[in-house]
Amino acid sequence: MSKDIIRLRPIGADETEAAVGVLARGMRDNPGHVAAFGPDPETRQRCLDLMFRGLFRVAGQRETVGAFDGETLVGVAASAPPGECRLRVGQQARAAATMINIGPRRLLRVLAWQSAWGRQHPDWPHHHFGPIAVDRGRQGQGIGSLIMNEFADRWDRTAEPAYLETDKSENVAFYRRHGFTVIGEAPVLGRPNWFLRRPGLSTAH
């Protein structure tokens, strides 16, 4: 279907299951997820399903938007407002408990990955964007750009900066088209990762 009929709206509490599925399928083959969860696609999707269930369970302050083709959810993105992007100790413990079934070695790799991202985390106030995914089979149809435009408009209205991480080189050009610039690069689990910033309209950062 044409991207012109895609509707964007907040994800409802009863749509969390569908959102987790879109994220797990859409991000299954990311380089970082291959490094964290191994070569088997079904295993990666199962691990991501558990990871995103944990995130939805604990990260209540995130703004989560869905892209709908009719009644079918085809894309999902979330952004944490300034001051809400780092999980508190109790939230971390609850998220880890959700993920315990991925196995200890995979969990240790996830913790190493999150620690590496944490070392790059900026100390200036920002909206922390991500995750974002379009369902497998619907990628390359402009749905991701529709979602990005929605969040970019929000950030522009508040004149606040945004920040994100990506492990896919092709995503860097995508984010640059939406106003982001690369402010850092570092290996994470042996894969290159990029850290990007989108300045606020009136920010001094």
Please tell me what DSSP assigns to residue 27: T
Query: What does the domain layout of the chain look like in residue ranges?
Result: 3-141
Q: What confidence score (pLDDT) does residue 121 get?
A: 94
CA 115 to chain centroid, in Å, comes to 16
Q: What is the pTM of this model?
A: 0.90
Q: What confidence score (pLDDT) does residue 58 get?
A: 72
Closest CA relative to residue 15, chosen from 61, 65, 59, 63: 65
Q: What is the pLDDT along the chain (205 residues), one digit of tens a residue?
A: 455 699 999 999 899 999 999 999 999 999 999 999 999 999 999 999 999 988 887 766 688 999 999 999 999 999 999 887 776 666 666 666 777 888 889 989 998 999 999 999 999 999 999 999 999 999 999 999 999 999 999 999 999 999 999 999 999 999 999 999 999 999 999 999 999 999 987 544 4
122 burial (CB, 10 Å; 0-12 / 13-18 / 19+) is middle
Contact 76, 21 (CB under 8 A): no
Is the CATH number 3.40.630.30 carried by domain 3-141? Answer: yes
Q: How far apart are CA 94 and CA 129, in angstroms?
A: 21
Q: How far apart are CA 106 and CA 100, in angstroms?
A: 9
Phi, psi angles (nearest 5°) of residue 58:
-110, -20
